[in-house]
Structure 1
Amino acid sequence: MTAGSPVELAVEAVRYEIDGQPLLHGVDLTARPGETVGVVGPNGSGKTTLLRCVYGTLRPTSGRVLLDGTDAGSLSVKGRARRVAAVPQDAAGTLGLTVREVVAMGRSPHKRFWEQDGPDDAQRVDAALETVGAAAFAARRFDELSGGERQRALVARALVQEPGLLALDEPTNHLDIRFQLEILGLVRRLPATSLLVLHDLNLAATFCDRLYVLAAGRVVASGPPDEVLTQALLSEVYDVRTHITPHPTTGTPNIVYLPQT
């Protein structure tokens, strides 16, 4: 699969609030072109809110999101979609559609509204379905799929969009171990910049170049996984006891969770 030119992402002092209640408190984050950056943190820390501000379903209360130096808020919906593809946790607007039709939706930012899909579009859809292991159920209705099958279809839709930035919210959710590794390996190999929200810290350590740790809407740590994922930080942020050693094969942090006392 191909992607657009990798985008440089800069999140500058982004704040988001609902009814005066802040969910994000001036978050700063960067992702260099081609980098895979993970956002981790406990439930309610603001990870999904931050990601939605990046791909445009939420508009920051203050601060800005820059894509290659351009304020994303100044771009048209299509203009933003040509640069950023999202893999959300939910899939609105897919009722009654087949998997192939859902994946083909990823081509719409590259077309005028009256244009039909051509042979080139069909080839891209086929390649994306094959890449994520979804070709066997391409003709089935999307809303009849299991959670893992839906997730693979949504990743395929993002791939055919050919973005410079992939924003993925729990892309391994509902997937068995094999597909978790395959999807994250695929994301890692793409030339696009990737921003991933992940719950599994061992996967984040293995596949991300850098991590941002959120807690209560603030960045409390950032940097390479081996600098960020410490026993002290996980105790403070997650309130868990851990034992962390370098993985014997990859050298990345390997986190073992210990019984609570």
Structure 2
Amino acid sequence: MRLRPDQLKQNLSKTLLPIYIVSGDETLLVQECCDDIRLSCRRQGFSREVLHVETGFDWNELLASAAAMSLFAERQLIELRMPTGKPGDAGGKALTEYAANASPDNVLLIICNKLESASTRTKWYKNIEAAGASVQCWPIEMAQLPRWINNRLSRLGLNASSEAIQMLAERVEGNLLAAAQEIEKLRLYTDGDTIDADTITAAVADNARYDVFGLVDRALEGNVSSCLKNLQGLKAEGTEPPYCYGH
């Protein structure tokens, strides 16, 4: 099955699948999804083993780990860190074999960087999805960021005005880790009152990340204020803005 990051926690509360593959280039979301899986396994008495897929990795290690019993627990979490998401022929066969014989005594957690679409169409990946779940962590776009911030504030018991949420989103755009850190700071900074724009101004640094492609997107949207903000950010970071030459 396929799960969104925001669906994972609820799914884990119902059942623990034998295999998860968590991928993406949004580091915070990948980390938090993996932490949720680790926590669920730990609560159910799983031990943990970590395998790193590097050049020369022996895929028999994975199958051997799956067959072995921990000295301290019969159930174990096998964490397979495979940044490239490309196991090669030997790895693809090993993962396919593992998926076909997944044991309820083990949970395999595969962690990858952003996967190419071709990787998600491979036999091994489809078998992993069929036996367990895939969780792809996409970056949070600016349009969705205020909602993400509001949900995170709510989980911490914090309330904020729409103006404050929008201001915070603008200050952390493109930098989700900074967003999480600033929200944690706000929890310490506030005394239970609704967070307003003045609080954001006083407590939150400008952590937005800017790029030329974002500038082009804002220009195509006709968003003049965001264009100017992006240009100022690029200038502060020492990046030359793009130039258009007429004919």
What is the TM-score when the length of structure 2 is the normalising length? 0.32
Q: Which has the larger share of helix?
A: 2
Answer with 1 or 2: which has the greater Rg. Answer: 2
Q: Choose between structure 1 and 2 for higher RCO, CA contacts under 8 A separated by at least 6 residues.
A: 1
TM-score (norm 1): 0.31
